Amino acid sequence: MGEFIMENRYILGIESSCDETAASIVKNGCEIVSNVVASQIESHKRFGGVVPEIASRHHVEQVTLVIEEALAQANMKPEDLDAVAVTEGPGLVGALLIGINAAKAFAFANGLPLIGVHHIAGHIYANALMQPMEFPLLALVVSGGHTELVFMKEHGSFELIGETRDDAAGEAYDKVARVLNIQYPGGPHIDRMAHESDEAVKFPRVWLEEDSYDFSFSGLKSAVINYKHNAEQRGIEVNPLHVAKGFQDSVVEVLTAKTLRAARQFNVKQVIAAGGVSANKGLRKSLEETFANEGIPFYVPPLKLCTDNAAMIAAAGTFMFEAGKRSDMAMNGRPGMELVSWHK
């Protein structure tokens, strides 16, 4: 190594695990060449959440358009690519299948290798698009479907050290938003409301066992519901801003404290946040301040790389490609796919 310059790698990423149809081209696993996301949020709003059948129908309408746009923005042709990476799971199975079958057909027609990527590996590798990942590393993955602490001793090595035992953090946000009659998607609204409030309702922090890195948010959600009911029964007006801040304070404090304890115990060189809820301003601020005090580098990708996108899938796919990972034409959607290491 060193005498020759490594060939540039261009990987096309495709993502359709929930309600975004996305395609992106990434160079060498670290540089975004193009990044296209077609969001369906407007279409699902009237239902108060993502309807899987509707999501799948939209993906079919969008999938070739977003891939074409990703190639056009990159000013590239299929033959300029080295491989196609696609989200294999977890996610909504009908939605996953659109990205997967488009990826397979595209790879087959153009004679390109195909790589199935775990969605959460993608979220973690969104960070590789911003700065090199340094190991050992700790990742806090927070989204509508996930709340996990993942320890990585090297590229492609994932060790789950903690996870939610009930609701994911993002799920708790959405449910509390519904209690407060806030339109879907509620997470960003609660975050904004929490910022507008100086006062907070005091809700419990759920720590579980002393040495556990697991999370639980369903009790907190119930506490919010109970608070609202009690207040209503006693004819007291509920201030939604105070509730939002109280709820967010509890979530952020527990996430931050457990991440800090894990970072110390595993003596990591880098802490990263990933997933849709890492776009939350309250959480970002708390983690940034905590790890600045601790002297451990902390990173969180810009907002558009926190939410679902295909650049993160292409980034993770590039590292898998270099590790020799390949999928075949029989790839299926895997809604409950587990995050397993590709480097043992």
Partner 1 sequence: MIWLGIDTSNSPLAVAIVKDGQVVAEEVANIKLNHSIGAMPAIERLFERTKMKPAEIDAIAVGEGPGSYTGVRIGVTIAKTLAWTLKKPLVGISSLKLLAANAALYNGVICSIIDARRQNVYAGAYNTTAGLTSVVEDGHYSLEGLLEKLKDLNVPVMFVGHDVDLFWESILAQLGNHAVRAPFTLDLPSASQLIQLASQQELPDIEAVHSFVPQYRRLAEAEANWIKEQKGQ
Q: Which residues sit at the interface with partner 1, rule CB under 8 A?
A: 46-47, 51, 53-54, 56-57, 60-61, 63-65, 67-68, 78, 93-94, 97-98, 100-102, 104-106, 108-110, 328-333
Q: Are 34 and 73 in contact (CB under 8 A)?
A: yes
Half-sphere exposure of 1 (CA within 13 A, CB side): 1
Q: Provide the minimum distance between the beta carbon of 274 and Zn ion in the complex, in angstroms, as a whole number.
A: 9
161 binds, among partner 1, Zn ion, none (CB under 5 to 8 A by kind): none
106 binds, among partner 1, Zn ion, none (CB under 5 to 8 A by kind): partner 1
Q: Are 325 and 343 in contact (CB under 8 A)?
A: no
**Cα separation of 273 and 196, whole Å?**
24
Identify which of residues 73 and 157 has a Cβ nearer to partner 1 in the complex.
73
98 binds, among Zn ion, partner 1, none (CB under 5 to 8 A by kind): partner 1
Q: Would residue 208 be called left, alpha or beta, if left means φ above 0 and alpha means ψ between -120 and 50 degrees?
A: left
Identify which of residues 144 and 246 has a Cβ nearer to Zn ion in the complex.
144
Q: Provide the minimum distance between the beta carbon of 61 and partner 1 in the complex, in angstroms, as a whole number.
A: 6
Q: Provide the minimum distance between the beta carbon of 51 and partner 1 in the complex, in angstroms, as a whole number.
A: 4
Q: Provide the minimum distance between the beta carbon of 99 and partner 1 in the complex, in angstroms, as a whole number.
A: 9
Q: Provide the minimum distance between the beta carbon of 19 and Zn ion in the complex, in angstroms, as a whole number.
A: 10
> 139 has which bridge partners?
150, 272
Q: At what angle do helices 240-265 and 281-294 cross, to 10 degrees?
A: 30
Q: Provide the minimum distance between the beta carbon of 340 and partner 1 in the complex, in angstroms, as a whole number.
A: 20
337 binds, among partner 1, Zn ion, none (CB under 5 to 8 A by kind): none
Per-residue contact string for residues 128-157; x = within reach of Zn ion by CB under 5 A: ---------------x--------------
Identify which of residues 46 and 304 has a Cβ nearer to partner 1 in the complex.
46
Collapse the DSSP code of 273 into the 3-class scheme (helix H, G, I; strand E, B; otherwise coil) and give the result. strand
Closest residue by Cα to residue 274 from 241, 240, 313: 313
264 binds, among Zn ion, partner 1, none (CB under 5 to 8 A by kind): none
**Cα separation of 187 and 175, whole Å?**
9
308 binds Zn ion (CB under 5 A): yes
Q: Dihedral of the CA atoms 72, 77, 82, 88 (nearest 10)?
A: 50
56 binds, among Zn ion, partner 1, none (CB under 5 to 8 A by kind): partner 1
308 binds, among Zn ion, partner 1, none (CB under 5 to 8 A by kind): Zn ion
| Pairing, β 31-39 against β 20-27 | antiparallel
Identify which of residues 108 and 135 has a Cβ nearer to partner 1 in the complex.
108
Q: Which residues contact 114 (CB under 8 A, 6 or more apart)?
A: 83, 84, 85, 86, 103, 104, 107, 326, 327, 328, 329, 331
CA dihedral over 265, 270, 271, 274, signed as positive or negative = negative
Q: Provide the minimum distance between the beta carbon of 329 and Zn ion in the complex, in angstroms, as a whole number.
A: 26
Q: Tokens 């009908």 label which residue?
A: 94
Closest residue by Cα to residue 255 from 200, 294, 216: 216
Q: Using CB under 5 A, list all residues that contact Zn ion.
A: 143, 308
